[in-house]
């Protein structure tokens, strides 16, 4: 459902973020993208929903060519089926959790409905169901800024689920969380991927979390894909090749002294 064909991305400042990337991601896969900061991980993920635009080659998502001709109404329609989860949560802290989740429904509303917050009963039920799927239904009417970081990330994931997406993109979704909370959030991603057959593509900072939860790993170094295969095939030698150095504590969420207990 997602095809990169000799894709390249060069930014206006001349930085070549991706070089000749060719890969295919099928419906229902859980893919982790790993590599050093600046390797091109985030660029790869954000090309899928056209947060960044392809410079060279072809990118096809759900049969739609993602290029400069995809814009306006057609681009908005295209993005409705692609959820995005960020490291920073991107919630409105002073409003309720359910209203944050309902924001995902605005794209299907008229301007007047969105301005007045006239959500349908079906929209509200969908939002509550999404919160239930990530285990925080009881927080529906709490203010978002009263929640812990892990709970806020679950709200962000619920908001994405309320779009009824085919694909969820995640840009370092647990990098700012503590290890135990990060583990819980990644379990949510894993369960949603398996139970709802939603494709998940996550740019991951921590190697151990990527290998634990993703079925497939894409390793990027200097804008080039140097590994693309099952996570179980990733070993120390391959990681050294991807990172250009030995893996350090900074690349791992759970240190040897941590008691994961999960």
CA 39, CA 204: separation in Å to the nearest integer?
12
**148 found inside a domain:** yes
Categorize the per-residue pLDDT at 254 as very low, low, confident or very high, splitting at 50, 70 and 90: confident
The CATH number covering residue 195 comes to 3.40.50.300
For the sheet containing 56-61, what is the strand order? 16-25, 2-10, 56-61, 64-65
**234 found inside a domain:** yes
CA atoms within 13 A on the CB side of 167: 23
**33 found inside a domain:** yes
Categorize the per-residue pLDDT at 106 as very low, low, confident or very high, splitting at 50, 70 and 90: confident
- The whole-number average pLDDT for the span 106-133 is 76
Mean pLDDT value across the chain = 91
| Cα first-last separation, the chain | 34
Helix (H) or strand (E) holding 191: helix 179-196
Answer with the residue of higher pLDDT: 1 or 219. 219
pLDDT in tens, 126-146: 999 999 999 999 999 999 999
**140 found inside a domain:** yes
Q: Do 218 and 44 touch, CB atoms closer than 8 A?
A: yes
pLDDT of residue 261: 45
- The whole-number average pLDDT for the span 40-50 is 96
pLDDT at 262 over 90: no
**11 found inside a domain:** no
Number of domains in the chain: 1
CA 30, CA 204: separation in Å to the nearest integer?
12
pLDDT in tens, 149-194: 999 999 999 999 999 999 999 999 999 899 999 999 999 999 999 9
CA 168, CA 47: separation in Å to the nearest integer?
13
**218 found inside a domain:** yes
- How many other CB atoms are there within 10 angstroms of residue 82's CB atom? 22
For the full predicted model, state whether its pTM sits above 0.75. Answer: yes
pLDDT of residue 35: 96
Categorize the per-residue pLDDT at 89 as very low, low, confident or very high, splitting at 50, 70 and 90: confident
Closest by alpha carbon to 17, among 36, 2, 31? 36
Closest by alpha carbon to 40, among 3, 9, 12? 9
- The whole-number average pLDDT for the span 208-235 is 96
**127 found inside a domain:** yes
Beta strand residue intervals within the chain, DSSP E: 2-10, 16-25, 30-34, 56-61, 64-65, 82-86, 167-171, 199-203, 216-221, 224-230
Categorize the per-residue pLDDT at 203 as very low, low, confident or very high, splitting at 50, 70 and 90: very high
> In terms of residue numbers, what domain contains 176?
29-52+72-250
**225 found inside a domain:** yes
User: Is residue 26 packed enough to be buried (19+ CB in 10 Å), middle (13-18) or exposed (0-12)?
Assistant: exposed
CA 131, CA 66: separation in Å to the nearest integer?
31
């Amino acid at each position: 459902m997602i095809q990169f064909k000799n894709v390249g991305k060069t930014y206006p400042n001349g930085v070549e973020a991706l070089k000749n990337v060719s890969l295919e991601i099928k419906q229902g896969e859980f893919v982790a993208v790993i590599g050093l900061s600046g390797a091109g991980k985030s660029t790869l993920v954000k090309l899928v929903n056209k947060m960044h635009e392809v410079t060279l080659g072809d990118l096809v998502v759900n049969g739609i060519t993602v290029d400069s001709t995809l814009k306006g109404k057609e681009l908005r329609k295209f993005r409705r089926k692609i959820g995005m989860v960020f490291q920073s949560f991107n919630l409105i802290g002073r409003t309720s959790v359910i209203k944050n989740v309902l924001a995902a429904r605005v794209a299907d509303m008229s301007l007047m409905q969105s301005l007045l917050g006239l959500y349908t009963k079906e929209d509200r039920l969908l939002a509550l169901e999404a919160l239930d799927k990530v285990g925080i239904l009881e927080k529906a009417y709490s203010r978002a800024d009263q929640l812990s970081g892990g709970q806020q990330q679950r709200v962000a994931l619920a908001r994405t689920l309320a779009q009824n997406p085919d694909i969820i993109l995640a840009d370092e979704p647990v990098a700012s969380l503590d290890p135990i909370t990060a583990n819980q959030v990644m379990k949510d991603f894993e369960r949603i991927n398996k139970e709802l057959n939603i494709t998940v593509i996550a740019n991951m900072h921590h190697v151990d979390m990527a290998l634990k939860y993703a079925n497939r790993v894409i390793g990027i170094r200097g804008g080039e894909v140097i590994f693309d295969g099952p996570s179980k095939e990733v070993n120390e030698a391959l990681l050294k090749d991807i990172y250009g150095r030995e893996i350090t504590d900074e690349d791992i969420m759970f240190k040897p002294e941590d008691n994961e207990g999960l």
